[in-house]
Amino acid sequence: MTTLATGPDTLTRDALAVLQPGFDGTTAPDWVRRRLGEGLASVALFGRNVVTESQVTALTAQLRAERDDLLVAIDEESGDVTRLDVRTGSAFPGNHALGAVDDPGLTRAVARELGRRLAACGVTFDWAPSADVNANPDNPVIGVRSFGASTDLVARHTAAWVEGLQSTGVAACTKHFPGHGDTNVDSHHAVPRIDVDADTLYERELPPFRAAIAAGTRAIMSAHILVPALDPDRPGTLSSRILTELLRGELGYQGLIVTDGMEMRAISGTYGLEHGVVLAIAAGADAICVGGGLCDEGTVLGLRDALVAAVRSGELPEERLADAAARVRDLARWTAEARGAGTDTAPHPEIGLIAARRALRVTRTGAASPLNSPLYVAQFEPVRNIAVGDQTPWGVAAELERLLPGTTAGSFTGDGAASQVLAAADGRRIVAVVRDEHRHPWMGAALDTLLAARPDTVVVEMGLPQAAPRGALHIATYGAARVCGVAAAEAVVAG
The residues annotated with a catalytic role in the active site are 188, 260
Q: Which residues pair with 431 in a beta bridge?
A: 377, 458
Residue 222 · residue 260 · CB < 8 Å = yes
Query: Would you give the distance in Å from CA 146 to the centre of its chain?
Result: 10
**At 363, which helix (H) or strand (E)?**
strand 361-364
Distances (CA, A) of 197 to 132, 201, 383, 452: 17, 7, 32, 45
Q: 126: which strand partners?
A: 74, 172
Strands (E), 100-242: 125-126, 171-177, 219-222
CA torsion, points 71, 73, 78, 82, in degrees to nearest 10? -150
Q: Is 458 helix (H, G, I), strand (E, B) or coil?
A: strand
φ, ψ for residue 290, nearest 5 deg = -150, 150
CB neighbourhood size of 14 (10 A)? 27
What is the four-CA torsion angle of 339, 343, 347, 349, rounded to 10 degrees? 0
State the CB neighbour count (10 A cutoff) for residue 54. 10
- d(Cα 197, Cα 230) in Å, to the nearest integer? 9
